[in-house]
Amino acid sequence: MARSILVAGATGNTGQSAVETLSHLLNSKPSSSGYKIIALTRSKDGATAQRLAKLPLVQLEEKSWVEITPEWLQEKNVERAFIAPHLQTNQFAEESTFHLALLHANVKYVVRISTAHPAVRPDSKSYYQRTHWAIEARLSSPEFEKLQWTSLQPNAFGPTYLYSAAQFVKNFRSTGKQDTLSLMAPKDVPVPIIHPPEIGVVAAHLLAEENTSKHNKAKYILNGPEGVTGQQIVQMVEQAIGTSVENVICKDMSSVDSLLEGLQNESPNVISSLRYALEASWEGKPSGSTSPEILDLGVIKHTPAEMFNSLIN
């Protein structure tokens, strides 16, 4: 049976590029022959899933990653895996169960997406940042020695960071009127936001490595090619609408309130800690330089301006 590389969340904002890049890399490397890519999706009928299914070596599987068992992994002969965990408050329970299944199925290597380097701490105010620290600490334990792993610690995702600015432009173009421009960004502190698909490309390169041991237990920092301040985002908006922005609020996390309204069966005290998710960036805590191993791949290229233009055009 062909060896498999599992991509959980294959139709997501990082999973798509992981599948596409893996397909290209494995199909072009004689040393990688014998691998197939299992792309997990909640629905095979979606346009993205159907497009991925046409790629070389890709096999779609309609399954949620939280339901994966050691027996299923062994049946599919999975040797390597990629996981981009969700932001729900049960992340630790579900992701740790996923890694436990990998361990007991003798999967050799997993690449996971963590969060921005300065926030992966046991004392972070935001719950999901503590969760990433706990997952990495668990994977580092002697009990998980047989499962090689790499955590990718990306900075803020560009489309999320720039979303309110893009919506401001679209609304102005539609109505000719301005609301208040609310930004997550601090006014003067540059944050090197990153293009999510490039994270998937990085993951694919690691998963396609013939020898993954050199990446074992690595926590790689992923920053975009340049930082952007709140003031620079305002300037991009003004250039797009052809006039000055009248009212701006920086460091605005009010979007968390709307998120709270749409969630049920979640602890308000826990989920509301998302308000603190960007505190490290606001305080100017350095995220560190992008890890050399990632820079050497030469795949992180999208600037904040390019990401912003793709959102408004």
82 with 182, same domain: the answer is no
CB-CB neighbours of 211 under 10 Å: 6
Task: Kindly write down the DSSP assignment for every residue of 16-58, as one continuous string.
Answer: HHHHHHHHHHHHH-GGGTTEEEEEEES-TTSHHHHHHHTSTTE
Asked if residue 234 belongs to a domain, the reply is yes
73 shares its domain with 127: yes
Tens of pLDDT, residue by residue over 100-131, are 999 999 999 999 999 999 999 999 999 999 99
- 169: domain range? 158-191+225-284+302-312
Copy the structure tokens of residue 36.
């197939």
Residues 149 and 30 in one domain: yes
Residue 237 lies in a domain: yes
In sequence order, the β-bridge partners of residue 248 are 181
pLDDT digits (tens, 9 = 90+) for 55-109: 999 999 999 999 999 999 999 999 999 999 988 889 999 999 999 999 999 999 9
Q: Write the pLDDT tens digit of every residue in 178-217.
A: 999 999 999 999 999 999 999 999 999 999 999 999 999 9
Of 93, 82, 163, nearest in space to 128 by CA: 93
Asked, for residue 108, whether it belongs to a domain, the answer is: yes
Q: Does one domain contain both 115 and 44?
A: yes
CATH number at residue 145: 3.40.50.720
User: What was the pLDDT predicted at 284?
Assistant: 75
Question: CA of 84: how far to CAs of 28, 46, 90, in Å?
Answer: 25, 19, 14
Highest mean pLDDT among 28-32, 116-120, 275-279, 302-306: 302-306
What percent of the chain has pLDDT above 70?
Answer: 96
pLDDT (tens digit per residue) in 291-302:
999 999 999 999
CA 90 to each of CA 94, 112, 235, 258, 266: distance values in angstroms, whole numbers, following the listed order:
6, 17, 39, 20, 9
Q: What's the total number of domains in the chain?
A: 2
